[in-house]
Structure 1
Amino acid sequence: MTSTIIQLVPEQARRLPVAALGPGLPAHLPKMRWSGLLQFWRRPKSRPFRIWHARRNVEMLPGILLRDALRMPLRLVFTSASQRRHTGYTRWLIGRMDAVIATSARSGAYLTVPHTVIHHGIDLARFRPHPGGAPAARTEVGLDSARRTVGCFGRVRHQKGTDLFVEAMIALLPHHSGWQAVVAGRATAEHVAFETELKRRVAAAGLSDRILFVGEHRDIERWYRALDLFVAPQRWEGFGLTPMEAMSCGVPVVAADVGVFSDVVTDGCGTIVPPDDLPALAAAIEPFLDDEPSRAQAADAALAKARAEFALAREADEIIAVYERLWASA
C-alpha cells in the first residue's frame, strides 16, 4: 500500500492540490504537517470542502472525528484492498465514509456499501523494456546474459510463496540448461531462517549457480528488464503490483489466483494457477521454458496490455473522478 501511495500522490498533484499526512513519508512527496489540520475549519477557496482519503482504519477514524466531532468541512473517501470479511469495527468505519473505492472486484466483494473499483497503476516510464533487450539488461545487473531468466520478486517469506518458486525451479532447471532463476527481495528478521532453508535446498540440488538470491534492490526495474518470464506464486495477496511491473517490462507472467492477478494476467499474457499448488505452478512454467515462439508472443501481449491499462495516470484520473462526484453532489 505504501509503495502505491508514493507513486500515486505526485501524479495526483499534477491535477489538483493534494498533500500526504503521516510518518515516514519520502522527501519528494507533497505533504503537510499535523498542525496543518487547523486550517481544515476553513473551506478551500475553489471547492465546497476538502477530501480526506484514508487507506487504513487508523486513517478513517481521525477523518470521522474531524468531520463529525469538530464539524470541519470534509468528505471522507476510503480505499479498501482487503480480501477478507471485515470486522464489525471496520464495517462501522466504512459505513461512515462518503465514498468507497475497492482496488479489485475481489476486494469489492467483501464490501457491504456502494463502491467504485479502481485498479492501481504503475509508472510506465520507469517500468519499460530495455532498449537492447533482456540479454543487455542481464549484463547490466551482472547476470549471465546467455541464459534466459525467470524471476520471482518480493519479500522472501512463506506468504509470498518463495518456497514454491524455488521448489519449481529445482524440479525444472535440470531439464532446461539454457535457463536460470532469480529471487529478488529481502527477508526480514523473522524470515531469515526461511530464506536460509531455501538456499540450503538449492545448494543440495547443486543449483546455487543457477538459482540466485540477489537481495533487495531499489532499482528493481533493471532486474525486471533482465527477465524472460516472471512468476508470482503468492499464497495470499491484497493486490499485488509485481505482475503489472513485469508485464510493463515486456515479460509474461505465471501467477497464483490471488489478489488482482487474474484480472491482470489475461489475453495471452501468461497463465493463472491455483494458489499453493506446486505441481500446477511447475506445469504452468514449463511450457514457457520449452516454447520460445509462444513465450515471445505472450511477452508482446503482456506489454500491449500494460501500455493500454496499467498507466498510473489512469488510476489518478479515476480517483479524481470520485472526488469530483463528491464535490458536484454538494
Structure 2
Amino acid sequence: MGSVDVIALNFKKRLSGVTSTVVQLVPLQARKIGIATLGPGLPDTLPKLRWGQLFSGLWTRPKGRPFRIWHARRNPEMLAGIVLRDVLRAPLKLVFTSAAQRDHTSYTKWLIRRMDAVIATSARSGSFLKVPHTVVMHGIDLDAFRPAASPDDAFGAAGIPGRYAVGCFGRVRHQKGTDLFVDAMIALLPEFPDWTAVISGRVTAEHRGFADQLQARIDNAGLAQRIIFLGEVPDIKIWYRRVSLYVAPSRNEGFGLTPLEAMASGTPVVASDAGAYAELIVPGKTGAVVPAGDGAALRTAIRPYLADPEMAQQFGKAGLADVHERFPLQREADAILAVYERLWASG
C-alpha cells in the first residue's frame, strides 16, 4: 500500500465501458505513478489490491504523497470513498469520472458535490454537471486498432460475397439503433450491388425477439446474403479493418468508443449525435453526423460513401490522422494524471 498513490475502482463484475477504460488506462498510468485496481472482473495482468490490503494499509499515507487518490466511475464507488474519507478518516481525495449525458438524480448530484475533483468524458457530459470539472475525452489504443496491413485484413478474406462492406458493431438492441441500420441497408443495398452489410454483436435473451424481427425484415427484402449477422466474433478489431464504412446509429450512448476504433483502423464513420459521437467526428472530413433516431437522415448520410468508395477511403485516411492527433490513449492518461497532480499540489 505504501507504493500505491491511486486506487482505480471497478465495483461491477460484468464487463462494461467503465471496465474497458480501467483495463486500458491503468497499464499506461502505472508507468508514471503507483496505481492499483480494486474490485472484480479485471484481468490478472493489472496491479490489484485485495480488500485485506486496503483495510490494513489505507490509513497510511503513500510515500511522497500527502494523500491517496480514490478514482471512482460509478455511484457505489463514490459512496464508498465518501465513507472512507469522511467517516473513517482515511487520508483520501476523491475523483469521479462522469460519462453520463443526462440530468443526474438528486442522489448522484449529492455524491458528485462531495468529490474533490470531477472529470467529464466529453463537453456534452460536462454540460450536465453542476460542479467545476475537467473534460478529458477517452483515447484509443493505436497499437490494438490499426489500418489494414495484411491479406487477412481484406474483406475478401472473410469469405462473404461483395466487394466492399459496411459495418455496424455492438449489442443488437433498440438503444443501439440496429434497426435503423438494417432499414438503411434494405433501402440502399439494392442500388449498390458491390456492397455487403455486416452486423456484429451480442444478442441477449431479452433482445432476441428484436433481433428475430430484424432478420425477418431482411429475409422479406430478399437480402439475407447481403445483410449478415456475424454474432459475437472472437476479435472485432479485424472487422474494423475489413469494412470500408462504419455506421454508429445509437439512439443514446454514454461516450461511445466505436467511432474511434473505426477511425483508428482507417475506416470513415457515419454516426448519430448520441454520446460523444459528434465530438469525435469532423463532418465532411472524417465522416458524418446525423440526429439520433433519424432513419431518413442516416440513409442520406450513408449513400455518398456507397456511391463513391474512393471518397470513403479518403475520409478513412483523414480519420486515421485525426485520431492519431487528438485521441491517443496516452493523451487521456496524461490528462488524468494532470488532475491528480493538481490535487496533490493543493496539499
TM-score of Structure 1 vs Structure 2, range by shorter chain = over 0.9
**CA–CA distance in structure 2, aligned partners of residues 119 and 75 of structure 1:** 22
Q: Does 1:320 align with 2:337?
A: yes
Matching residue of 2:49? 32
Q: Is the 8 A contact 1:170 1:205 kept in 2?
A: yes
Q: Counterpart of 1:117 in structure 2: which amino acid?
A: V
CA distance in 1: counterparts of 2:310 and 2:179, whole angstroms: 29
Aligned to 2:8: none
Q: Percent of aligned positions with the same letter in both sequences?
A: 60
Aligned residue number for residue 40 of structure 2: 23
Cα offsets for 1:88-132 (capped at 9, x unmatched): 111110000000000000000000000000001111001001114
Deviation track 1:142-180 (CA, whole Å, cap 9, x = no partner) reads: 434x51000000000000000000010010001100000
Q: Aligned residue for 2:185?
A: 169
Using the alignment, how far apart are the partners of 1:150 and 1:328 within structure 2? 49
Correspondent of 1:114 among 112, 132, 136:
132
Deviation at 1:136, TM superposition (A): 4.2
Residue 66 of structure 1 aligns to a residue whose secondary structure is helix
Equivalent residue for 1:105, pick from 94, 119, 123: 123
Q: How does 1:1-330 map to 2 (within 5 A)?
A: 1-38=18-55, 39-132=57-150, 136-144=153-161, 147-266=163-282, 268-330=285-347
User: CA offset at residue 140 of structure 1?
Assistant: 4.0
- What root-mean-square deviation, in Å, do the aligned CA atoms of Structure 1 and Structure 2 show? 1.3
- Write the distance in 1 (CA, Å) between the matches of 2:338 and 2:309: 42
Q: Distance in 1 between matches of 2:322 and 2:103?
A: 31
Runs of 4+ in 1 over 3 A off after TM superposition: 139-144
Contact 1:153–1:185 (CA<8 Å) still a contact in 2? yes
Alignment CA distance shift 1:142-1:86 (3 Å): same
| Alpha-carbon offset, residue 292 of structure 1 | 2.7
Cα distance, 1:300 vs. partner? 1.2
- In the alignment, structure 2 segments of 5+ residues that lack a partner are 1-17
Going from structure 1 to structure 2, the CA distance change for 1:216 and 1:197 (only over 3 Å counts) comes to same
What's the secondary structure of 1:101's corresponding residue? strand
> Quick one: distance in 1 between partners of 2:190 and 2:31?
50
Counterpart of 1:20 in 2: which secondary structure? Answer: strand
Shift of 1:293: 3.1
Per mean C-alpha deviation after superposition, the further-off stretch among 8-17 and 105-114 is 8-17
Q: Distance in 2 between matches of 1:197 and 1:292?
A: 30
Structure 1 residues 218, 100: closer, same or farther in 2, change over 3 A?
farther
CA distance in 1, matches of 2:221, 2:242: 24
Normalized against structure 1, the TM-score is what? 0.97
**TM-score normalised per structure 2:** 0.92
Q: Residues 44-74 of structure 1, C-alpha deviation per residue, up to 9 Å, x if partnerless?
A: 1121111000000000000011111111110
- 1:279 maps to amino acid: A
CA contact (8 A) 1:170 1:207 kept: yes
